[in-house]
Amino acid sequence: MPPKSGYGDAELGGTYVEVKKATAATLNQVRAVKYIPLVAFHEPSDTWYVVPAHIIVCLVATKRRGQHTENPFESATLNIFSLGKYQVAHEADLKMATLNAIAESPARRAS
């Protein structure tokens, strides 16, 4: 676990990671400003997604405003179905998929 909740929800290989659960199509309060990978679980379809930090920034950059804020980089919603390219086929592959996402866009390291 990260030393402060604002850093992310987990730490893997010295990098913080955000973990979200979606009970519908919307992922809430995605914080691109953290520049950390996102691991998302879509409960209705029992599907996992792992999205590199730079992709989160690109997806949020297209938004006119954020969720509960004018700045979308502070907090935004994402549609889980727009993340199909980042779907993880098997839960057993989550760790490796997350490590690959970390390598794709170097994130803020844990200290």
Q: Which two tokens stand for residue 20?
A: 């979200």
Q: Which two tokens stand for residue 11?
A: 């730490």
Rounded to whole angstroms, the maximal C-alpha distance in the chain is 38
For 3-59, how does the pLDDT look when each residue is reduced to its tens digit (9 = 90+)? Answer: 777 889 999 988 999 999 999 999 999 999 999 999 999 999 999 999 999 999 999
Give the Cα separation of 63 and 60 in Å (integer). Answer: 6
For 75-102, how does the pLDDT look when each residue is reduced to its tens digit (9 = 90+)? Answer: 999 999 999 999 999 999 999 999 999 9
29 touches 66 (CB < 8 A): no
CA atoms within 13 A on the CB side of 13: 13
**What 3-state class would DSSP assign to 103?**
helix
